[in-house]
Amino acid sequence: MKLGIRGHDILEKPSWVGTLTVALKSAGLDTVQLVCYKSIDDVEYKANGISRDMAAYLGQILEECEINVALLGAYFNPVHPDAAKAELGVTVFKEYLSFAKELNAPLVASETGSYNGDKWMYHPRNRTPEALAAVTRTFGDLCRYAGEYGVSVGIEGAAGHVCHSVKALKSVINDIGAQNLKVVFDYYNFMDNENKDYAAILNEGLSTFDNIHCFHIKDCSLDSGAQVPVGQGDIDFPKILGMIKSYDKNAALILEGTAAKDAKQAGEFIKRVWDGV
């Protein structure tokens, strides 16, 4: 099992990559979900916001420090009502695909967006065939582009987004039919007021997908739905980690939304439960 965290959760920008590796090691973690423009100084979210030389430099430092880059985050809204924002997202995503190998990353990932624009929340148009078709076109194009560089694309669903369910996400993956399209699975993302059965959501995902690249790990209060530090909420971790371990004993687990002050404790908790299931 590989256990990591989002880089910008454990260390706020601006930061030097060496400082990021120290923070990860101090928390007992060896894996990162790296969003360069949120974590590394002198990298911006714009066209040409990172150079190939910068990517190679970052990759070298991370490799020397034995930090595994599980994925690069280049999250954008492919159905944003502002077409310019959607186009910028595609541009940045493709740049990260072209630099992924320099950063020793196997894939670049995004969620599937919402017609609510920057709010990334439920919109009735998200639940339409046209929305699924738009996401399919965009991610299909990204998969073809990624193939030129020998890397993969990660796709992540969420209840308020176009791929609002496991079924919707599966339909997009089936329609694209690309071997280099992988799933970033987050059981919490699919929870809403009408469905809080996180174990059933996870089970559906594990039963549906044979291409899950990594899992986002979160804890929450089932009453409020709010995230809480891992190990302090209502998620039955022996149950869900046992399910994940049965699916893939070498799974990559990413603590998402875990504050820096809670990272070490959360990591130790997950490792202890994982070893015991």
Backbone angles phi, psi at 74, to 5 degrees: -140, 55
Full 3-state SS string of 93-115: HHHHHHHCCCCCCCEEEEECCCC
Neighbouring C-alpha atoms within 13 Å toward the C-beta of 170 = 10
pLDDT recorded at residue 13:
81
- pLDDT above 80 (res 25): yes
Q: Which amino acid is at 256?
A: E
Binned at pLDDT 50, 70 and 90, residue 15 comes out as confident
Query: What is the largest distance, in Å, between two alpha-carbon atoms of the chain?
Result: 49
| pTM of the full structure | 0.97
Interval 98-137: pLDDT, tens: 999 999 999 999 999 999 999 999 999 999 999 999 999 9
Domains and CATH numbers, the chain: 2-276 (3.20.20.150)
Interval 45-78: pLDDT, tens: 999 999 999 999 999 999 999 999 999 999 999 9
Percent of the chain past pLDDT 90, that is, above it, reads 97
- pLDDT above 80 (res 14): no
As a whole number of angstroms, the distance between CA 34 and CA 11 comes to 11
Average pLDDT over residues 192-208: 97
Interval 211-241: pLDDT, tens: 999 999 999 999 999 999 999 999 999 999 9
Using CA atoms, how far residue 256 sits from 14, 30, 50, 82, in Å, is: 19, 15, 24, 28
As a whole number of angstroms, the distance between CA 241 and CA 237 comes to 6
